[in-house]
Chains A and B, each alone.
Chain A
């Protein structure tokens, strides 16, 4: 059993001519929520998209458990056990909530339906709008759908990109509560600009700056380090 569920070794990623990730190395311990922090453009979202194979790495290695997934295609990575919630939620607006769940459900078996019930307990609104088109949901409900549908599979790891973006403070607190429940059974890598939410959910953190890892440590230590927060995150 590896100590780390996901490891990135010297990962370089380009978008067009732009060298976005310039040798990112990080390790995600199993059973906790690891937070990726950094200013806009630091490479946080690109790191998640690179892990998912949606913006493939040009060099370096990405290892899930003991399997090298650096060259795997997104659907193979999803089937290997990684769920992805992108920054823009990417719920399928023309499909109903039910259809979004069916689309995400890789195996329509008892286990998946049991996990679906667990999602309903966590996000009751999804059951209420089960037959509605996802396009009519509010921003918060769309976020719940985007997270909830990935939970119907027995994923080992969830990559969640800025779930609090555009949500009211009360919804952010509810979401943080939900993520804390999820991390009790699934490892999470969370990209988050909202430091309040990140510190409520996160265990370890990595700070990215200009496509490299600038700092790493425990969230509770970062919360006390005002100089570091000011330098890399622009907050006091």
Chain B
């Protein structure tokens, strides 16, 4: 059969699969309008987008690490938790200076920025150490990676318990981010807007770096064929370390934002977030930042709509979405087949 005939024969099924991801995404976004009133729907949509942006911060690092390095890093959630505890500590210290609970708008913004920068630094350092001491010895063996990163996650969570105690802690919210704003009768928490701005900004920055810079070309090339990128003169091992550290830093940043958003932290908080990150990466497609972004929004929206309508199905619905996407597009929304 020639290629034109093959295309013609395959086109209905192929077309359906090509568009299936978009159909599912738009369905998740619009279907709840059938049973949720408009005002509640808009509030839930903002909450879903916020959650999606926060998930994206963690999952984007996970997908790059998996796509470029072929490393299954189950310690990724631990970086998230370390970021959360970094934010908690920094906010506590800044509060003594009067910057957090009673601070001005500038001090509130400044405290969040300081938290994010320190979380990025902590995540970066932990990422470099973990890649250098542990991950480097497991390249090429998924089984070793799963076992050793699971161990690393337990150790990192345990260190948190030792340093900060095993109990839940309450995280302070900077004064300017408490309360809500009323936009056309839709009440939106202020910090949600900040989270959307940060998540969207990180997505745009990642998109710029990956699409427009030489480093981005090397990373995208490395995802496709790391041997060839190496033969073209690029030290892929060093780039692996940087990518791993950047992924860890993003997870830590996500942890800080998440902790301020939910106002509570606990040592094992990385585990539940890792499950969400895994779901997002599978839906979006390994190695695709845009796929990860769309999948994060899909998961965040679905979780919020279903949590409002049928709370017991909130996590289950995302596993169902993942199963449907896998059946229709096994490589995910934007992953390579």
> Smallest CB–CB gap between B69 and chain A, Å?
16
> Smallest CB–CB gap between B64 and chain A, Å?
15
Q: Determine the chain A residues whose CB is within 8 A of the CB of B228 once the complex forms.
A: 86, 90, 92
> Is A74 a contact of B224 with CB atoms below 8 Å?
no
> Is B217 a contact of A95 with CB atoms below 8 Å?
yes
Check B102 for interface membership: any CB of A closer than 8 A.
no
A-B contact pairs, 16 of them (CB 8 A): A54-B231, A75-B232, A75-B234, A75-B235, A75-B236, A78-B233, A86-B231, A90-B231, A94-B223, A94-B336, A99-B220, A99-B221, A102-B217, A103-B234, A104-B233, A106-B233
Q: How large is the interface on A (under 10, 10 to 19, 20 to 34, 35 or more residues)?
A: 20 to 34
> Is A74 a contact of B220 with CB atoms below 8 Å?
no
Q: Which secondary structure characterizes the binding site on chain B? A: helix
Binding site for A on B (CB under 8 A): 214, 217-218, 220-221, 223-225, 227-237, 336
Q: Known contacts being A90-B225, A95-B221, A103-B218, is A74 close to B336, with CB within 8 Å?
A: no
Check A37 for interface membership: any CB of B closer than 8 A.
no
Q: Determine the chain A residues whose CB is within 8 A of the CB of B234 once the complex forms.
A: 75, 103
Binding site for B on A (CB under 8 A): 52, 54, 73-75, 78-79, 84, 86, 90, 92-95, 99, 102-104, 106, 108, 149-150, 153
> Smallest CB–CB gap between A53 and chain B, Å?
8
> Smallest CB–CB gap between B238 and chain A, Å?
9
> Smallest CB–CB gap between A15 and chain B, Å?
14
Q: Known contacts being A92-B225, A93-B224, A99-B217, is A104 close to B232, with CB within 8 Å?
A: yes
Q: Determine the chain A residues whose CB is within 8 A of the CB of B227 once the complex forms.
A: 54, 74, 90
Ordered nearest first, which 7 A-B pairs have the shortest CB separation? A78-B233, A90-B228, A74-B230, A92-B221, A84-B231, A75-B235, A106-B233
> Smallest CB–CB gap between A111 and chain B, Å?
15
> Smallest CB–CB gap between B260 and chain A, Å?
37
Q: Known contacts being A75-B236, A102-B214, is A94 close to B231, with CB within 8 Å?
A: no
- What's the count of A-B pairs with C-beta under 8 Å? 63
Q: Determine the chain B residues whose CB is within 8 A of the CB of A79 once the complex forms.
A: 233
Q: Known contacts being A94-B336, A95-B217, is A103 close to B232, with CB within 8 Å?
A: yes
> Is A94 a contact of B236 with CB atoms below 8 Å?
no
> Is B231 a contact of A74 with CB atoms below 8 Å?
yes
Q: Determine the chain B residues whose CB is within 8 A of the CB of A90 once the complex forms.
A: 225, 227-228, 231
Q: Determine the chain A residues whose CB is within 8 A of the CB of B224 once the complex forms.
A: 92-95
Q: Determine the chain A residues whose CB is within 8 A of the CB of B236 once the complex forms.
A: 75
A52-B231, A150-B232 given. 14 additional CB < 8 A pairs?
A: A73-B230, A74-B231, A75-B234, A78-B231, A78-B232, A90-B231, A92-B229, A94-B336, A95-B224, A102-B217, A103-B217, A103-B218, A103-B232, A153-B233
Q: Determine the chain B residues whose CB is within 8 A of the CB of A84 once the complex forms.
A: 231
> Is A75 a contact of B230 with CB atoms below 8 Å?
yes
> Is B221 a contact of A75 with CB atoms below 8 Å?
no
For B220, give its contact among A52, A95, A149 (CB under 8 Å): A95
Q: Determine the chain B residues whose CB is within 8 A of the CB of A149 once the complex forms.
A: 232
Cα distance, A78 to B230, chains bound together (Å): 8
Nearest to A134 among chain B residues (CB) is B224
Nearest to B216 among chain A residues (CB) is A99
Q: Determine the chain B residues whose CB is within 8 A of the CB of A54 once the complex forms.
A: 227, 230-231
Nearest to B238 among chain A residues (CB) is A75
Residue of B214, B217, B223, B227 with highest tally of chain A CB at under 10 A: B217
Nearest to B211 among chain A residues (CB) is A99
Nearest to A90 among chain B residues (CB) is B228
> Smallest CB–CB gap between A197 and chain B, Å?
23
Cα distance, A53 to B231, chains bound together (Å): 9
> Smallest CB–CB gap between A72 and chain B, Å?
12
Q: Determine the chain B residues whose CB is within 8 A of the CB of A93 once the complex forms.
A: 224
Cα distance, A104 to B214, chains bound together (Å): 10
